[in-house]
Amino acid sequence: MAQFLSDTEVAERILTHVDKGTTDRTDRVWQEPVDHYLSTERFAQEMEVFKKALTVVCPSAALKDIGSYISPTVAQTPLIVVRGKDGVVRAFKNACRHRGAQLVSGEGCTQAFVCPYHGWAYRLDGPLQSVPHEDGFPGLDKTQKGLVEVKTMEQGGLVFVQLHETDESDDALAGVSDLLSDDQHLLQSGQSVIDANWKVHLESFLEGYHIKYAHPETFYPYGYDNLNVVETCGRNARVTFPFRRIEKLKDVPAKSRTVDGKLTYVYHLFPNTLVTVLSNHTNIVVLSPVDLKHTAITVYQLTNRQGGADAVERAKRDASFVSDTGALEDIALVTSIQKSIESEANDVFTFGHFEGAITHFHRNLSGLLGDA
């Protein structure tokens, strides 16, 4: 299966760019019709892509204990994702088989799922366990009324679900075999909703062309103006944002170079998940489209792998800086785009040679939607 460059190879490419004043470039300019951000028909088609895709719902660390669960919404479908008594993670549609009430909300830990409406109870692995006053349902076959299961997979420290099974898992998992490790500690998770189309927000993660102007006092003083390594792997991509301190590696033999603390990796796992590996913490960011104009953002913050004894404290400081500065600056710009997107100022959004990861995303999405 295809993989991204090694840390050593990335460092060499960055140092070459520093010496030459260059950056990675894509071979084409992409023009995305603005109507694709406004069309309800297009949005419905995108949700069909979500249903067929292997999409991330959380890191494995969020379901560490037996009975721990989350209740995400994928392609407008409420789910329960839970670690069973056998240690296996499973996903089910979050709907009681009696009258369809949602069994849980948020996250938690439980021994069974009990419907808050009439008390129908389900085991962690899905079967209907008990029905209050069961004699009121003559002929009820409990074996046929278990929770409706959805395909689930754990790989690279991440939990994926697939609402409609296809045979495209190899392409979906390209480059994600070892993104997270068992020694990474979950700091916290949270969810918010922003007033922007999910693609507009996604695009803000996938290029460094904006760093100097969007983050002049936060990210730019530590980084470069428009210097990135951009890689693609299947439908996925990775953008590397180097820090200026990577230049300390110039005189270090290539085999001895380590990039820890000297760059940020942003992995885009198609269609809607970002894994950002920063100096001292890792974020899992899941963008869940609510409708054309709103996106739910779920963020899981973890320590980095092999972080050492003070990994948690360093991760908390790092996460606080990013969350309170650059992340807010990006969201402000994203929501400003949404406010003007219906102004008819633009027929297309143009993504240039420095925005190759965005082009890769739109090319893949367009291909799945059958665009000419």
Q: Which two tokens stand for residue 12?
A: 């060499």
pLDDT in the model for residue 173: 84
Q: Which of 16-30, 49-63, 299-313, 347-361 has the lowest mean pLDDT?
A: 299-313
Quote the CATH superfamily of domain 7-53+181-368.
Naphthalene 1,2-dioxygenase Alpha Subunit; Chain A, domain 1 (3.90.380.10)
Query: Do 329 and 218 contact (CB within 8 A), yes or no?
Result: yes
Q: Which pLDDT band holds residue 257 (cuts at 50, 70, 90)?
A: very high
For residue 165, the SS3 value is coil
Averaged over 179-203, what is the pLDDT? 95
Q: Residue 68: CB partners within 8 Å, gap ≥ 6?
A: 62, 82, 83, 107, 108, 109
Q: What's the rounded Cα separation, in Å, for the pair 341 and 323?
A: 26
Q: What's the rounded Cα separation, in Å, for the pair 250 and 310?
A: 29
* Matching fold, domains 7-53+181-368 and 55-167: no
More confident site: 308 or 320: 320
Q: Which two tokens stand for residue 94?
A: 């979050």
Residue 344 zone, left/alpha/beta (φ > 0; ψ -120 to 50; rest): left
Q: Which pLDDT band holds residue 169 (cuts at 50, 70, 90)?
A: low
Stated pTM of the model: 0.95
Please state the separation of Cα 31 from the chain's center in Å.
24
Helix axes 311-324, 326-340, angle to 10 degrees: 30
Averaged over 279-284, what is the pLDDT? 94
In one-letter notation, the amino acid at residue 101 is A
Domain ranges of the chain: 7-53+181-368, 55-167
Signed CA dihedral, 331, 322, 213, 353: sign only:
negative
Q: Residue 20: CB partners within 8 Å, gap ≥ 6?
A: none
Is the pLDDT assigned to residue 1 strictly greater than 80?
no
Quote the CATH superfamily of domain 55-167.
Rieske [2Fe-2S] iron-sulphur domain (2.102.10.10)
pLDDT in the model for residue 45: 97
Q: What's the rounded Cα separation, in Å, for the pair 231 and 46?
A: 24
Q: Which pLDDT band holds residue 243 (cuts at 50, 70, 90)?
A: very high
Q: Which pLDDT band holds residue 49 (cuts at 50, 70, 90)?
A: very high
Q: Tens of pLDDT along 83-137?
A: 999 999 999 999 999 999 999 999 999 999 999 999 999 999 999 999 999 999 9
pLDDT in the model for residue 323: 86
Q: Which two tokens stand for residue 49?
A: 């892509």
